[in-house]
């Protein structure tokens, strides 16, 4: 059977790792380097893909063709014309006749099980999903990464790392590398995580918003005092939290508009490397009444601090308690 793989899901770190595993299975790095084609799907036509896939590999046994973002075009009926869907549904037939020397990999982010192209390709493709890693699975992933480097990490250090860094495996992987070097053979402790990791304030604010959504007051409180200990002033903290929830509201409003991540970034007016997928997932965890409540509490806290009604830290402690109640 010809090689057609579909790798999809919001965990792009694991998707890339799996793609690398497949590359190593199919051919040596030098040969695949000469025979790998990466295609963006926005303007891609079925005929163009067929021409690339039909080409004979040069000095190798496999031609690897990677198409990025194709399935995502068909997440909503209005997202792509019906004739374009019909055109790409023919890929199911072509996949059974594709040269045995071609490996075609479709990669994408989060997809609905109702995706029409995905449903059409299921019988002829090897499909692997990569959901966002969290909870026990995320902790296990961290421990596995640390062990792979010949190091050890305490459970409290694992919790501190994942609570602060969230589910960004790229960032977590970088921090694990630094922690393993820093520990020099001893078990990585929670204190090491706080001293070595370089997560931005934005990442910590993300984690606080997650804790608010899950009503984990202890986690939110710890993250808040961590930011204050690192030098952030109470007004700055309120600014960052207010900004985060403003972005959450905007992300909710855009959820039904079928926008690409790039279009969302442009509308939000944030940097190109902003974690837009994480913001989208976070926005889905809040309903509008709860967002309204959070906004009201932020305004009340800001006023209480500015008028001297409450001391800074007490006002912030009450804010966390009320939002998480």
When divided into structural domains, the chain yields a total of 3
pLDDT in tens, 119-151: 999 999 999 999 989 889 999 999 999 999 999
Percent of the chain with pLDDT over 90: 35
Are 217 and 176 in the same domain? no
Asked whether the beta carbons of 65 and 102 are under 8 A apart, the reply is: yes
Are 157 and 215 in the same domain? no
Are 120 and 147 in the same domain? no
Identify the helix (H) or strand (E) that includes residue 32: helix 29-34
The residues near 151 (Cβ < 8 Å, ≥ 6 apart) are 179, 180, 183, 185, 187, 188
Are 237 and 283 in the same domain? yes
Asked whether the beta carbons of 227 and 204 are under 8 A apart, the reply is: yes
The span from the first CA to the last CA of the chain, in angstroms, equals: 56
3-state secondary structure of 51: helix
Are 274 and 307 in the same domain? yes
Asked whether the beta carbons of 283 and 251 are under 8 A apart, the reply is: yes
**Sign of the CA dihedral 265, 269, 275, 276?**
negative
Distance CA 28, CA 4 (A): 19
Q: What is the CATH number of the domain that holds 223?
A: 1.20.272.10
Q: What is the CATH number of the domain that holds 61?
A: 3.40.50.300
Asked whether the beta carbons of 68 and 40 are under 8 A apart, the reply is: yes
Are 115 and 61 in the same domain? yes
Distance CA 241, CA 24 (A): 44
Are 107 and 220 in the same domain? no
Residue 1 banded pLDDT, cuts 50, 70, 90 = very low
Asked whether the beta carbons of 6 and 121 are under 8 A apart, the reply is: yes
Torsion of the alpha carbons at 122, 127, 133 and 137, rounded to the nearest 10: 110
Structural domain of 163: 133-199
Are 178 and 211 in the same domain? no
Are 309 and 213 in the same domain? yes
| Nearest alpha carbon to residue 19 among 30, 34, 3, 1 | 3
CB atoms inside a 10 Å sphere around CB 74 = 22
Are 109 and 29 in the same domain? yes
pLDDT in tens, 261-296: 888 888 888 767 677 888 888 888 888 888 888 889
Of 111, 129, 147, which residue is a domain's last?
A: 129
Of 82, 98, 129, which residue is a domain's last?
A: 129
pLDDT in tens, 86-107: 899 999 999 999 999 999 999 9
- Model-level pTM greater than 0.75? no
Are 178 and 113 in the same domain? no
pLDDT in tens, 230-248: 667 888 888 888 888 888 8
Of 199, 225, 253, which residue is a domain's last?
A: 199
Are 115 and 140 in the same domain? no
Distance CA 110, CA 298 (A): 32
């Amino acid at each position: 059977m010809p090689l057609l793989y579909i790798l999809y899901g919001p965990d792009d770190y694991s998707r890339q790792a799996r793609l690398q595993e497949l590359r190593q299975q199919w051919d040596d790095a030098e040969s695949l380097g000469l025979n790998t084609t990466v295609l963006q799907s926005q303007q891609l036509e079925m005929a163009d893909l067929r021409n690339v896939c039909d080409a004979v590999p040069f000095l190798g046994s496999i031609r690897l063709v990677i198409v990025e973002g194709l399935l995502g075009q068909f997440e909503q009926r209005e997202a792509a014309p019906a004739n374009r869907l019909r055109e790409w549904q023919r890929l199911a037939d072509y996949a059974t006749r594709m040269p045995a020397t071609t490996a075609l990999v479709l990669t994408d982010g989060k997809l609905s099980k109702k995706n029409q192209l995905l449903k059409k390709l299921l019988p002829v493709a090897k499909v692997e999903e990569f959901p966002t890693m969290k909870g026990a699975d995320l902790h296990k992933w961290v421990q596995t990464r640390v062990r792979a480097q010949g190091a050890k990490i305490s459970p409290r250090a694992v919790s501190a790392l994942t609570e602060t860094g969230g589910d960004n495996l790229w960032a977590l992987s970088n921090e694990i590398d630094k922690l393993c070097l820093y520990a020099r053979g001893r078990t990585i402790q929670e204190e090491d995580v706080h001293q070595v990791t370089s997560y931005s304030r934005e990442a910590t604010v993300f984690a606080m918003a997650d804790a608010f959504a899950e009503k984990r007051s202890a986690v939110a409180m710890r993250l808040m005092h961590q930011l204050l200990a690192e030098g952030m002033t109470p007004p700055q903290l309120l600014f960052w939290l207010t900004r985060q929830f403003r972005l959450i509201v905007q992300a909710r409003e855009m959820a039904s508009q079928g926008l690409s991540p790039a279009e969302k970034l442009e509308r939000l007016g944030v940097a190109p490397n902003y974690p837009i997928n994480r913001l989208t997932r976070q926005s889905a965890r809040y309903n509008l009444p709860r967002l309204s409540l959070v906004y009201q509490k932020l305004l009340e806290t800001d006023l209480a601090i500015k008028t001297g009604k409450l001391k800074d830290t007490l006002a912030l402690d009450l804010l966390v308690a009320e939002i998480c109640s």
